[in-house]
């Protein structure tokens, strides 16, 4: 589904953010992307979503080489993704319903069909009763859930989430994680960046760790989680 | 097709509701466009109607052929035959010195001073005269005809007063050139104004453009609401311009009817000049569309991915 081959990314006037990275993500996987702030997690997600282009190497999304795509083809590539940002990027000049319907408008879906899908998406994230509310009146967790509803309403095959729980407290974060797992269960590929994957997963997940631009991979096991949790408990008690 | 139409309708609704929310500023922008469109239109109306008026006058141009005072009736007959044979003349009529004298006496009755002067004259000082209307209204051929008539025997003076008509029509041609220059300048001003307005809107809707871009909106999708906004500004501005024009023509006609009455001439401006109004509307819409296209294309280019 997503293939990186010797991808290097450098911004003008900076060091290499990502060095010679290769990996392969299959359809239906749930992948955590970890690393310190500034390690290049967001950059990697941007490369997948084709909002950035690699300095060298190739990025293949569904067997399409992003480098060789015409600018006019990129919007259609992006429609395969549901993007969730740490700062939500909600539009505060319209209510929840109007926020969620935006991707459908872009896809040319309107009318009853669109309304039905918006309500289904809002229902999935538990915001069906806030349809008419303005985003500014929602709590941080609700805003993030609204952003998720917007990301999934067009039924993308890949969800890209950039630190979706970064600004939330533990109980909200657990809600959000549960939503992501639910989508993964119905076959959606989820790629999620976070700086503390250990604290939020109770399952076996693939973890890609970025450190100083290089990638290391391991499987997150329940035992790790238990260790991590107990270490957190020790440090907090 | 249905989808496509739906999308346009949705966008139009969105743009209209945004305009309704910013009624005052929308009105201001439309007013600026309206006034800017109004100026060259008014100028055009003035020049166009003046040139129609001069054409009218040129058609009425007569050559007055004054005969020698001591001419005998046979000679008059001879001239009459010659005039009848001339191909360039449409019609002519003779006013004999007696008829002219009578007309003068009748006309001068209302004015005491002239009446006194006329009655003191005692005998008729007026010559016999032919009033000739040429077939062509072209000033050059009129002058040629006048020269030919001047050289007929027993003709004292052939009089043609077309010089001022000629000068006026060349002035009007200059006026027409001026209009296109002013219209061109105002079109540039409008492009800048509308472009700037749309640029301000883009700034306030920067988030929407950014998010739309991220979730896979095509450029034309992002552009659409702004293009509609620009075209609508043009439409409303054009409508305002037409309303103002109608108002001004109406006011002009009211005061003109008094003046025209004094000159016993029923000159007035056409209230609904469909061609002019259509041109005003179409160019306003076109300028609005182009202005916002330039602004939004520049904005999208600045958000472009690397």
Share of chain A above pLDDT 90, in %: 38
Residue A25: predicted pLDDT: 92
Strands A158-162 and A189-193: parallel
Residue A24's pLDDT band, with cuts at 50, 70 and 90, is: very high
Residue B206: predicted pLDDT: 84
pTM of the predicted structure, to 2 decimals: 0.69
Q: Which two tokens stand for residue B172?
A: 């009007």
Q: Within 13 Å and on the Cβ side, how many CA atoms surround B166?
A: 10
Contact assignment for A72 to B215 by CB distance below 8 Å: no
Instruction: Tell me if B161 sits within 8 A of B64, measured CB to CB.
Output: no
**CB of A77 less than 8 A from some CB of B:** yes
Sequence-ordered list of residues with C-beta below 8 angstroms from that of A5, at least 6 positions apart, any chain: A22, A57, A58, A59, A60
Looking at residue A148, the DSSP 8-state letter turns out to be: H
| Nearest residue, CB atoms, A52 vs list B4, B6, B306 | B306
Residue B142: predicted pLDDT: 78
**CB of B219 less than 8 A from some CB of A:** yes
Residue B305: predicted pLDDT: 44
The phi, psi pair for A81, rounded to 5°, reads -100, 150
**For residue B289, which of B181, B198, B212, B203 has the smallest C-alpha distance?**
B198
Domain-by-domain residue ranges, chain A? 90-156
The sign of the torsion formed by the CA atoms of B109, B114, B116, B117 equals negative
Which runs of consecutive H residues, i.e. helices, occur in chain A? Answer: 41-48, 74-78, 96-106, 111-124, 140-152, 170-185, 222-236
Residue A228: predicted pLDDT: 53
Residue A237: predicted pLDDT: 44
Rounded to whole angstroms, the Cα distance separating A114 from A154 reads 9
pLDDT tens per residue across span A136-189: 999 888 999 999 999 999 999 999 999 888 777 778 888 888 888 999 999 999
Contact assignment for A102 to B207 by CB distance below 8 Å: no
Report chain A's mean pLDDT, rounded to a whole number: 85
Contact assignment for B207 to A89 by CB distance below 8 Å: yes
The phi, psi pair for B263, rounded to 5°, reads -95, 10
Instruction: Tell me if B47 sits within 8 A of B172, measured CB to CB.
Output: yes
Q: In what order do the strands lie in the sheet with B129-134?
A: B89-95, B129-134, B62-67, B155-159
Strands B155-159 and A214-220: unpaired
| Nearest residue, CB atoms, B212 vs list A51, A74, A102 | A102
**CB of A110 less than 8 A from some CB of B:** yes
Q: Within 13 Å and on the Cβ side, how many CA atoms surround A22?
A: 4
Which residue ranges form the domains of chain B, and what is each CATH number?
2-57+166-302 (no CATH), 62-160 (3.30.70.3040)
pLDDT tens per residue across span A111-136: 889 999 999 999 988 899 999 999 99
Instruction: Tell me if A193 sits within 8 A of A161, measured CB to CB.
Output: yes
Instruction: Tell me if B50 sits within 8 A of B258, measured CB to CB.
Output: no
Instruction: Tell me which chain B residues have a C-beta less than 8 angstroms from the C-beta of A89.
Output: 207, 210-211, 214
SS3 B61: coil
Residue B264: predicted pLDDT: 60
Rounded to whole angstroms, the Cα distance separating B70 from B111 reads 30
Average pLDDT along chain B, 306 residues, taken 10 residues at a time: 78 88 90 89 83 70 81 83 81 83 79 75 81 76 81 82 72 85 88 86 84 87 90 94 91 79 66 84 92 87 60
Chain A to chain B Cβ contacts (< 8 Å): 66
Rounded to whole angstroms, the Cα distance separating A40 from B188 reads 47
């Amino acid at each position: 589904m997503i293939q990186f081959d010797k991808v290097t990314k450098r911004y003008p006037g900076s060091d290499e953010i990502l060095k010679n990275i290769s990996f392969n993500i299959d359809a239906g996987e749930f992948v955590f992307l970890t690393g310190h702030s500034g390690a290049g997690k967001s950059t990697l997600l941007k490369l997948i979503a084709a909002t950035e282009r690699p300095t060298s190497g190739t990025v293949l999304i569904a067997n399409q080489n992003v480098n060789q795509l015409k600018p006019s083809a990129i919007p259609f590539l992006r429609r395969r993704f549901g993007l969730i940002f740490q700062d939500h990027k909600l539009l505060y000049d319209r209510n929840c319903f109007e926020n969620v319907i935006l991707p459908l408008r872009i896809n040319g879906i309107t009318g009853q069909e669109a309304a039905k899908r918006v309500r289904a998406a809002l229902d999935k994230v538990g915001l069906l009763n806030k349809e008419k509310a303005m985003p500014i009146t929602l709590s941080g967790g609700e805003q993030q859930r609204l952003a998720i509803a917007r990301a999934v309403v067009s039924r993308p095959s890949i969800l890209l989430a950039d630190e979706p729980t970064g600004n939330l407290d533990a109980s909200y974060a657990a809600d959000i994680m549960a939503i992501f797992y639910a989508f993964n269960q119905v076959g959606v590929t989820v790629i999620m960046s976070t700086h503390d994957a250990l604290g939020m997963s109770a399952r076996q997940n693939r973890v890609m760790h970025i450190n100083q631009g290089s990638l290391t991979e391991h499987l997150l096991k329940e035992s790790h989680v238990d260790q991590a949790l107990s270490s957190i408990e020790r440090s907090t008690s | 097709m249905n989808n496509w139409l739906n999308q346009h309708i949705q966008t139009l609704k969105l743009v209209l509701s945004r305009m309704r929310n910013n009624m005052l500023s929308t009105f201001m922008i439309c007013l600026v466009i309206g006034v800017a469109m109004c100026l060259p239109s008014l100028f055009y109306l003035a020049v166009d109607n003046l040139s129609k008026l001069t054409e009218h006058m040129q058609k009425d141009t007569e050559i007055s052929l004054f005969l020698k005072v001591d001419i005998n009736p046979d000679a008059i007959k001879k001239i009459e035959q010659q005039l009848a044979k001339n191909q360039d003349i449409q019609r002519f009529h003779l006013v004999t010195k007696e008829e002219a004298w009578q007309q003068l006496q009748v006309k001068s009755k209302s004015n005491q001073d002239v009446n006194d002067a006329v009655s003191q004259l005692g005998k008729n000082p007026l010559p016999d005269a032919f009033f000739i209307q040429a077939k062509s209204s072209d000033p050059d051929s009129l002058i040629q005809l006048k020269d030919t008539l001047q050289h007929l025997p027993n003709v004292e003076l052939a009089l043609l007063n077309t010089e001022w008509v000629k000068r006026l029509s060349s002035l009007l041609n200059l006026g027409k050139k001026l209009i296109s220059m002013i219209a061109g300048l105002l079109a540039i001003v409008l492009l800048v104004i509308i472009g700037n307005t749309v640029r301000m809107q883009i700034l306030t809707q920067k988030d929407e453009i950014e998010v739309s871009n991220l979730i896979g909106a095509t450029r034309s999708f992002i552009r659409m609401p702004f293009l509609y906004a620009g075209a609508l500004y043009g439409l409303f501005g054009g409508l305002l311009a037409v309303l103002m024009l109608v108002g001004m023509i109406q006011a002009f006609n009211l005061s003109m009817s008094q003046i025209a009455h004094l000159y016993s001439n029923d000159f007035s401006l056409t209230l609904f000049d469909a061609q002019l109004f259509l041109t005003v509307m179409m160019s306003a819409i076109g300028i609005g569309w182009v202005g916002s296209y330039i602004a939004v294309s520049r904005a999208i280019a600045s958000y472009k991915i690397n």
